Amino acid sequence: MKMMDIYNKLLKTLGEQKWWPAKTPFEVVVGAILTQRTKWENVAKAIHELEKNDLLDPDALSSVDKSRLESLIKGTGFYRQKAERLQTVSKYFAKNGISSLTKKPAGVLRNELLSLKGIGKETADSILLYALDKPKFVIDAYTVRICKCLGISGGYDRLQEKFESALPKDVTLFKEFHALLVEYGKRYCNKNRCDKCILLPAKD
């Protein structure tokens, strides 16, 4: 089964997801850190708390008292390291600015993000795709699991290469496809259960 066939089947089954739920690019960045190993529902509450305190801004977030930030995001778990990571990435965005970052090549940007402590491949690619509109395909735990069910093997790099080489470099498509994979994973292919019957088996 081709990648586009999988996409079309997911789209038809689940409908459009229209990710990422955020009002601004920087809110995507914040969400990308907070959602690490955490349910989005808890992340949404934390982001609302930050918004109420006028902290959804690189300058404000990088200069806020750390213990106060920790208490505001406690519900997302790993709150001490996430507070640290948020301030690290906030300083980076405060220094550079969204519009100037958007002009940089994706590869350069990706390496800069990966050099920040607390930003690994998935978080970096989520920021590139959903905050800066770069055509990078995001691979997450659900995507790996679903691909395995479909007979598509590989870790992060290999799977990313497979998606990116098989699809047109369309930011909107990349965004929607990843969102669909996560939604499908949550419903049908997670640690608790995996209904392999909904999607047809694919060749590697």
Partner DNA sequence: CACCAGGTTGACC
Partner DNA sequence: GGTCAACATGGT
Give yes or no for residue 75 binding DNA (CB under 7 A): yes
- Smallest gap, in angstroms, from Cβ of residue 149 to DNA? 14
The Cα 42–Cα 19 span in angstroms is 17
Nearest approach, Cβ of residue 200 and DNA (Å): 23
- Write down the H helix ranges in 97-170: 98-103, 106-114, 121-126, 141-149, 156-166
Q: Is 20 a binder of DNA (CB under 7 A)?
A: yes
193 is an interface residue for DNA by CB under 7 A: no
Q: What is the radius of gyration, based on Cα positions, of the chain? A: 17
CA neighbours closer than 13 Å in the CB half-sphere of residue 97: 3
d(CA 65, CA 9): 47
In the complex with DNA, the residue whose CB is nearer, 10 or 124, is 124
> Using CB under 7 A, which of 12, 16, 41, 168 touches DNA?
41
Q: Which helix (H) or strand (E) holds 28?
A: helix 25-34
- Binding piece for DNA, criterion CB under 7 A, among 28-36, 60-68, 101-109, 193-201: 28-36
C-beta closer to DNA: residue 93 or 142: 142
Distance from C-alpha of 87 to C-alpha of 190, rounded to nearest angstrom = 32
78, 98, 148, 198: residue in contact with DNA (rule CB under 7 A)? 78
Residues that bind DNA (CB under 7 A): 19-21, 31-32, 35-42, 74-75, 77-82, 116-124, 126, 130, 140-142, 155, 182, 186, 190-192
